[in-house]
Amino acid sequence: MLKLARFLKPYALLVLLSVVFLFVQAFSELYLPALMADIVDSGIRNGNRAVILATGGRMLVVAFGGVLAAGIVGFCSSRVAAGVTRDIRRAVFASVEDFSSAEFDRFSTASLITRTTNDVTQLQHLVLMGMRMLFFAPVMGIGSIVMAVRTGASMSWILVIAVFAVIVLIAGVFRIAMPKFRIVQKLVDRLNLVSREHLSGLMVIRAFRTEQFETERFAKANNDLTAVNLFVNRVMTIMMPTMTLVMNGVGLLIIWIGAQHIAASAMQVGDMMAYLQYAMHAIMSFLMLSVMFIMIPRSAVSADRIAEVIDTSSSIRDPAAPREMRKDLAGVVEFRSVSFRYPGADEDVLSDISFTARPGTTTALIGPTGCGKSTLVHLVPRFYDVTSGSILVSGVDVRELAQKELRQAIGFVPQKAVLRTGTVADNIRAGKPDASDRETADAARIAQAAGFIEKMEEGYASPVSEGGANFSGGQKQRLSIARAVVKKPSVYIFDDSFSALDAATDAKLRTALDPVTEHATVIVVSQRIHTIMHADSILVLDNGRIVGSGTHDELLETCGLYREIASSQLAMEVSE
């Protein structure tokens, strides 16, 4: 939790102001019983109207000051809590934005969402309540005990018993409930994960009629969380009735003992009433501290989870002194004996990959499913770093380039088309935020997306729902391609980006792309022979190794795997 204390520094003045007025509020609470005792003993009992009015006036002033101080403390604590949690969410988001694919493999999406929402909310409650109670309760507790002893020293043993009973109660609850709080946060992660998978895969679930299985899966996650929460809440509910019993018992004991002292003329009525209030203040202070002692460990769990995200540095970092791309080799992509394995894996996914892709040419990758094609192209924009060997873009090792400059030179179209909420134009302009309407429309035309966009009622201003759910798979792919085209990069990477297109649209798109990519390097990953058969160079991958390279005609003669893929696809087309 101390790791996140730095987020309080910008609000140090508000925290200090809050502490000052907490002391004012505490003084008001401690002074009022003494004034009430004066009214009873010196005013009402003696029939002295002047004392009643004078002391009553002071009570009004003190009470108003306490209310004003409480209002200021509430304002300051609310501002600090909201500001701190805003800054924490911003820091978590910024940290996640810098994550490489390796870090995303480590933290699940559901867990990151829980840490940004549920865990941050826990910290907000802690800051809000902590600023009100953490300073106020000790001052009130100590002050009330001191004032109680001064008012009725002979009854101090009652206060000792009450405080001891409260401490025993708090310790018991603390010991039982605390281990469950970390479990609660993990179960919230699990529930979010199940919910997210269910919602994102709803159509598949319906298609395979696995609703019952998913219902049972969700029910288990939900019931596990409910069971732990019920256990914690049942333990916590013991506290308030027990505290009420202690307070009422102490009150009765004070009145009974105090009445005997009054009868013996050893104490006045006002002093007994004041002592009773001080005792209640002391017990309530310990109750407030107990609430904080319960909140702090629970929030500490959330703070550790948040700090884990913020303190996790991306495994992909910019060099201390980035180099600039060579203009004479602009767009050239070269693999030099590249091998790669995923973090924690025992075997390489790619082994000894070497080839060069040059501007004005198209280099295609083909091979069986799982042979490493997508992994290979993910190494170019440094989604992962190579295990050995090197990748050069424009004559410079990608690890020596600033990530921003590297990715600015690449137009990447992923295998799974990803759209964000907004408009169609917003999604295309994601590749170039300052693109004009003409550039946006031209990119859509090249990507064969202009036809369906212009048929929509609002055209390029048409809304895109979450994940592009209001578009078909082929439409989303074409919009993703338009997003890369509008960028006009020196290197285009198409990671199986034509799979959802029919043959006619595929052919039109590749024809429209030719003039745009005339001076750029194009790398295409595909499972379809027709998509890559006209490429200048085709690399055949199998088990992470290049087993063939050349043109379509050359590979038909020299590469058995390529010939097998081609004959199976072409034979299928003939039979159809």
Report pLDDT digits (tens) over 528-572. Answer: 888 888 899 999 999 999 999 999 999 999 998 999 888 887 665
DSSP state of 323: B
Residue 99 structure tokens: 């994550």
pLDDT at residue 324 in the model = 92
Alpha-carbon distance 257 to 62, whole Å?
Answer: 30
Buried b (16+ CB within 10 A) or exposed e, 300-332: bbbbebbbebbeeebebebeeeeeebeeebbbb
Contacts of 313 (CB under 8 A, 6+ apart): none
Contacts of 260 (CB under 8 A, 6+ apart): none
Residue that has been written with the tokens 């009100």 in this structure: 132
Alpha-carbon distance 138 to 289, whole Å?
Answer: 8
Instruction: Judge residue 387's burial from the number of C-beta atoms within 10 Å of its C-beta, 0-12 exposed, 13-18 middle, 19 or more buried.
Output: middle
pLDDT surpassing 70 at residue 119: yes
pLDDT at residue 2 in the model = 65
pLDDT surpassing 80 at residue 34: yes
pLDDT surpassing 60 at residue 573: no
Among residues of the chain, what percentage have pLDDT more than 70? 97
Hey, what long-range contacts does 241-246 have (CB within 8 A, 24 or more apart)? 242/169, 243/166, 243/169, 243/283, 243/287, 246/162, 246/165, 246/166, 246/169, 246/283
pLDDT at residue 411 in the model = 93
* Phi, psi at 313, each rounded to 5°: -85, 140
Mean pLDDT rounded to a whole number for the chain: 86
Residue 65 structure tokens: 């000051």
pLDDT surpassing 70 at residue 1: no
Number of neighbouring beta carbons within 10 Å of residue 555: 23
Nearest to 502 by CA among 523, 525, 466, 477: 477
Taking only the tens place, the pLDDT of each residue in 398-435 is 999 999 999 999 999 988 888 888 999 999 999 899 99
Q: For strand 491-495 and strand 362-366, is the pairing parallel, antiparallel, or unpaired?
A: unpaired
Alpha-carbon distance 195 to 362, whole Å?
Answer: 42
Strand partners, 492: 411, 522
Residue with the bigger pLDDT between 196 and 395: it is 395
Map residue 326 onto helix, strand or coil.
coil
Alpha-carbon distance 107 to 91, whole Å?
Answer: 16
The DSSP H or E segment spanning 364 is strand 362-366
Cα dihedral 95, 468, 422, 482, rounded to 10, equals 90
- Which band of pLDDT confidence, cut at 50, 70 and 90, is reported for residue 117? confident
Domains and CATH numbers, the chain: 2-310 (1.20.1560.10), 327-409+490-575 (3.40.50.300), 420-488 (3.40.50.300)
Q: For strand 537-542 and strand 362-366, is the pairing parallel, antiparallel, or unpaired?
A: parallel
Nearest to 338 by CA among 355, 325, 323: 355
Alpha helices in 311-417 (DSSP H): 373-378, 403-408
Strand partners, 335: 355, 391
Q: What is the pTM assigned to this prediction?
A: 0.74
pLDDT at residue 315 in the model = 82
Taking only the tens place, the pLDDT of each residue in 460-503 is 999 998 778 888 888 999 999 999 999 999 999 999 888 778 87
